[in-house]
Amino acid sequence: MNQPTTTRATESVVLLDEDGRAIGERDKSAVHHADTPLHLAFSCYVFDGDGNVLVTQRALHKQTWPGVWTNTCCGHPGPGEPMVDAVRRRLHQELGAAVSDLRLLLPGFRYRAELDGVVENEMCPVFVATVDGDVRPDPDEVAEARWEPWTTFRAGVLDGTREISPWCRDQVAQLPADPTSAPEASYDELPPAARP
């Protein structure tokens, strides 16, 4: 199993053109603002063996969507970092989690959203995985985390009764009814900057 890469002292994100090709990089701390450039990211939904999904509340001091409930984990691959390595790294950093069966389900997901003058503007492939062992959320990243039955969580997101981040809402609408058994998408469908 691949091990997460070492945490960077400063984290850079990959800037993209409209076709998903890399056109540069920028320090993560400087990329999110009122005119956020299009950049590469990812989302991951982690499940346990009983079909529950781990949902997280973003730390209250985060620059983007503080205190908002969302999917298990989001992040940005660094320049030259393989996407699956970035997902594993971020899961380890945020949740102390190791996962198996990491699979790409939505290679072409893209969104733009705004809250309190800060914009997210990402090509954001979506992955699912199964947790191996316990999770230990980092309070600098996660205010709270809890396991919820996927069917209940999905129904609440789709009918609008579950408050959730805008990207999670749109992703859940596109994910299959049972993501844990869905076939993996082709990595050839990723934005060019994210392809192996």
Active site residues per annotation: 74, 122
Closest C-alpha to 156, from 47, 57, 69: 69
How many angstroms separate the CA atoms of 196 and 188, rounded? 9
Q: What angle do CA 192, 38, 53 make, to 5 degrees?
A: 80
* Residues 129 and 53: beta-carbon distance below 8 Å: no
Three-class DSSP category at 3: coil
Report the first-to-last Cα separation within the chain, whole angstroms.
17
